[in-house]
Amino acid sequence: MEAFQRIILVHYHEIGLKGHNRSTFEKRLQKNLEALLVLWPVVTVHRVAGRLVVFLKEGTSFEEACAVTDALVLTPGVARVSCGFKCARDMEVIGRAALDALADAGPFETFKVHGRRNHTDFPVDSMAINRQIGEVLCLAHPDKRVRMKDPDVTVNVEVVQNAAYVYARSVRGIGGLPVGSSGKAMCLLSSGIDSPVALWRTARRGATCVAVTFSGRPQTSDAAEYLVDEICQVLQKNGCVGRLYVVPFGDYQREISLMAPPALRIILYRRLMFRVAQALARKERAGALVTGESLGQVASQTMENIACTNAVVDLPVFRPLIGMDKLEIIGDAQRLGTFEISSQDAPDCCTLFMPRSPETHAKLSVVEEAEAQFPIDEWVEELVASAEPHDYACPSYKPPKSR
């Protein structure tokens, strides 16, 4: 028996993808996948008839093909991933490839064949493909039934110019736009559950993400920094983060906690974080800040307090989680693979010098008055200068020229 070459078809949504946009989108996605797949037994990635086809090396096992599929489903811009075979444009050969594809699809009771030909130079039309391949599969599986509506498995046969693609195993991807197709964002990233999800959702809309984390160092250990690095390594698997700036923030928090009214501490920390994040965003030429805030979740996330932190920056601040419940956010974090990391305890600047009863309805004038005693501009400069960059694999990320 011949072994067919394994292929993976990557489908993307075509809505809104017309003319120039469409080819930019396709090229971006292709580059991202090529970079992401360097670790796998992949020969090439080609654009064929409105989808990307990943050609796997000869002898690639089913398990390896599944692992490649898993790596792709969480990648922004990927709507669906199908695993199958490339074969010759010959109905008998296609029939054998269809049997192999069906064998990879897992247990099933009902099935159907969905045939298509992109070129009418192939003499068999789609109806005849369905009928003939259906017969082959029925003969091999006499105990299974054909069902046109909602079958357990659909065996797809696509006849293109020089070959046919046959696949039955198909998994839905996260969709969205390929990273690098909608600008750059500076994400405030902690080792908590929320902000990694916020970054991921922003990347899913096509933004190249850079992150900044504020560490309690030297007032705390650097344990939280390791967790944030681990989170970035997870995000990097799908090309979602290009760089992380680690900013040692503990001494500044200490200064604030010694001098400012306890109830306002958190807001003052956050205003300082936002200013530093914006300064780093300017260096990076990022067009927006991103946080993991969700309305009313904790004391600092009331409307008034959000307004007080927003007041110190001009860049738009995106809050992709603002309307999400904690359980939904946790669900995302589990799917993304950051939940376990974020559930570990590490002292970070969030737990450092926290007041017993933080202000929940801060007034901007009061906050500004409390802040006036600090040399804020100087601090921002020092903090930006002390930011330590860590780089990750993200094909669309370009570091700023100076530095």
Tell me if 139 is assigned to a ligand binding site.
no
Report yes or no: 287 and 184 within 8 Å, Cβ to Cβ.
Answer: yes
Tell me if 75 is assigned to a ligand binding site.
no
- Tracing tokens 């705390």 back to the chain, one arrives at 220
Report yes or no: 4 and 60 within 8 Å, Cβ to Cβ.
Answer: no
Q: How far is the CB of 330 from ligand ATP (least distance, A)?
A: 10
Cα 247 to Cα 380: distance, rounded to the nearest angstrom:
11
Considering only residues 171 through 200, tell me which ones interact with Mg ion, judged by CB under 5 A.
Answer: 190, 192
Q: How far is the CB of 388 from ligand ATP (least distance, A)?
A: 13
Tell me if 189 is assigned to a ligand binding site.
yes
Residue 220 engages Mg ion in binding (rule: CB under 5 A)? no
Q: How far is CA 300 from the centre of its chain?
A: 27
Which CB atom, from 156 or from 301, has the smaller least distance to Mg ion? 301
| Chain positions contacting ligand ATP, by CB under 6 A | 188-190, 192-195, 213-214, 291-293, 297-298, 300-301, 348-350
Amino acid making up residue 232: C
Q: How far is the CB of 332 from ligand ATP (least distance, A)?
A: 12
**Cα dihedral: 114, 67, 28, 15 (round 10):** 40
Cα 31 to Cα 39: distance, rounded to the nearest angstrom:
14
Q: Could you tell me whether strands 42-48 and 51-56 are parallel, antiparallel, or unpaired per DSSP bridges? A: antiparallel
Tell me if 335 is assigned to a ligand binding site.
no
**Cα dihedral: 14, 17, 21, 27 (round 10):** 10
Q: How far is the CB of 301 from ligand ATP (least distance, A)?
A: 6
Which CB atom, from 223 or from 298, has the smaller least distance to ligand ATP? 298
Q: How far is the CB of 274 from ligand ATP (least distance, A)?
A: 9
Q: Select the span of 138-146, 180-188, 347-355, 378-386 touching Mg ion (CB under 5 A).
A: 347-355
Which CB atom, from 356 or from 403, has the smaller least distance to Mg ion? 356
Which CB atom, from 85 or from 245, has the smaller least distance to ligand ATP? 245
Which CB atom, from 83 or from 384, has the smaller least distance to ligand ATP? 384
Integer-rounded Cα radius of gyration of the chain: 26
Q: How far is the CB of 35 from ligand ATP (least distance, A)?
A: 27
CB atoms < 10 A from the CB of 316, how many? 11
Which CB atom, from 60 or from 301, has the smaller least distance to ligand ATP? 301
Cα 123 to Cα 158: distance, rounded to the nearest angstrom:
13
Q: What tokens were used for 198? A: 């916020």
Q: How far is the CB of 350 from Mg ion (least distance, A)?
A: 4
- Phi-psi sector, 296: left (phi>0), alpha (psi -120 to 50), beta: left
177 binds, among Mg ion, ligand ATP, none (CB under 5 to 8 A by kind): none
Q: How far is the CB of 366 from ligand ATP (least distance, A)?
A: 20
Q: Select the span of 55-63, 140-148, 180-188, 345-353 touching Mg ion (CB under 5 A).
A: 345-353
Q: By C-alpha distance, which of 163, 141, 146, 199 is closest to 338?
A: 199
Which CB atom, from 48 or from 298, has the smaller least distance to ligand ATP? 298
Cα 189 to Cα 201: distance, rounded to the nearest angstrom:
13
Report yes or no: 349 and 249 within 8 Å, Cβ to Cβ.
Answer: yes
380 binds, among ligand ATP, Mg ion, none (CB under 5 to 8 A by kind): none
Which CB atom, from 332 or from 348, has the smaller least distance to ligand ATP? 348
Tell me if 132 is assigned to a ligand binding site.
no
DSSP secondary structure letter of residue 205:
B
The strand order across the sheet containing 78-87 reads: 42-48, 51-56, 5-11, 78-87, 164-175, 153-159, 110-117, 145-146
Report yes or no: 320 and 187 within 8 Å, Cβ to Cβ.
Answer: no
Residue 350 engages Mg ion in binding (rule: CB under 5 A)? yes
Task: Give the chain's end-to-end CA distance (angstroms, integer).
Answer: 59
Instruction: List contacts with Mg ion (CB under 5 A).
Output: 190, 192, 350
Binding site members for ATP: 188-189, 213-214, 270, 292, 301
Binding site members: 188-189, 213-214, 270, 292, 301
